[in-house]
Amino acid sequence: MASQKPVILWFRQDLRIADNPALNAAHACGAPVLPIFVQDDVNAGDWAPGGASRWWLHQSLSALNSEMGGHLQFFRGDPNDIVPGIAAETDADIVFWNRCYEPWQRARDEKLRDSLRASGKSARTFNASLLFEPPEISKADRTPYRVFTPFYKKGCLENGPRPREAEQAPDDVRWHQHSGNTTLDDLGLEPKVRWYDEMQNTWTPGERGARERLATFLKNGLKGYKEGRNFPDRKNVSRLSPHLHFGEISPQQVWRALDEQQRSDFPVEDIEHFRSELAWREFSYNLLYHFPDLPSENLQRKFNRFPWREDAAALRAWQRGETGYPIVDAGMRELWRTGYMHNRVRMIVGSFLVKNLLLHWHHGERWFWDTLVDADLANNSASWQWIAGCGADAAPYFRIFNPLTQGRKFDPDGAYVRRYVPELAAMPDKFLHAPWEASEEIRRAANVTLGQTYPDPIVDLAESRERALAAFRSLSSG
């Protein structure tokens, strides 16, 4: 006869029912399962979710609770106090959870595991968010990889463990009844000011939305992905990143779905390139695991001497999408309105901030943390260090994206810019990405007045490029 003592299932960044190893293990005990979620802004410190992430989290928890028939229990505070208290109150002996890899979460979870053990309880933990866990992937000399290609090809595909099979959702879970007093609204996630209407119309947070997003991508976006992913107005992007971050879908589910596509007539190069993008996510987590100061410290320490500028006005113009460079401004406005930015454009706006404006990558990292629905500590930190040239396997600092050539190449008909910078919509394609090059007559016909309806460029590209290269050269003479 199954025990009537409940077991506790602690949901974290695994907000799904299918392919949830902790849920399946808890269910296999045969005991009633008490599902909980704890909003922990105590241990998170500087890395508590930003505004866009909190909006997504609220919607995702609502969807998960609905899938579970309203049985999810909500708490707010320090899990080191809350979880042992629930275990004592319900007489639960085991707490199940899926592992997280952010440094602050690892430290918290280790403390909680010790606390549970000291009180005669136990914790059972699982991998639900990565294909290849960091402790399993290292070079022959046991040091971590710092270059992506050998990490993926040699460490993961050749010598690493094969990604596990995705598991089905259990259909007969007995949820333990618990009379908690905290509601989802009490977690303080929903913004008090309604600024998220376009995000709400853009996304469907939750496990069902994640499945639908994957199906749409496989049907309409995977074919032609290798090249098409560079064009922000095309459908060749998955937009799975927030769903993966919050664990509404697992990378194993995505990986296995690609296996199915590989058996059909999809071009192998598109599938393999998308797999490599999943692997970049893995690489970022590997870096964060082995270099826990990644969010704050340059991996290449010589950049500690880099002569960054301070310019509040330029930073504000960048944040608001008012730099006078249309592709940059389109990206920043897409971010503000939808909580997302196309990856090619992320590289363009990042390069503009740290090289043309010569502002510290920390400014970009913090702005993205607050405004991205897919804000992820590993990916965000590693990506900003990559574009700044100070990270692992980083883009060379002298690789400075020119927003004019990038815009003309990857938004040739201007559809992306016209969508997010509508004041330029009537400009001819030839001048859309550089409206100052048009004659006064052409600008007047398009209702564009530089400095009034659209800003003048806040920096000269050639001069700022030379300034950036000179700053980089100064590292060698320091």
| 466 tagged catalytic | no
Q: Pick the catalytic residue: 133, 190, 277, 423?
A: 277
| 308 tagged catalytic | yes
Who's near 443: CB < 8 A, 6+ residues apart? 427, 435, 449, 450
Specify whether the backbone of 244 is left (phi greater than 0), alpha (psi in -120 to 50) or beta: alpha
| 104 tagged catalytic | no
| 165 tagged catalytic | no
Provide the angle, in degrees to the nearest 10, between the axes of the packed helices 207-220 and 251-262: 30
| 280 tagged catalytic | yes
Q: Pick the catalytic residue: 356, 384, 386, 402?
A: 384
Q: Pick the catalytic residue: 47, 104, 175, 280?
A: 280
Q: Pick the catalytic residue: 55, 361, 367, 386?
A: 361
| 318 tagged catalytic | no
Query: What are the φ/ψ torsions at residue 347 (nearest 5 degrees)?
Result: -65, -35
| Catalytic machinery residues | 277, 280, 308, 343, 361, 384
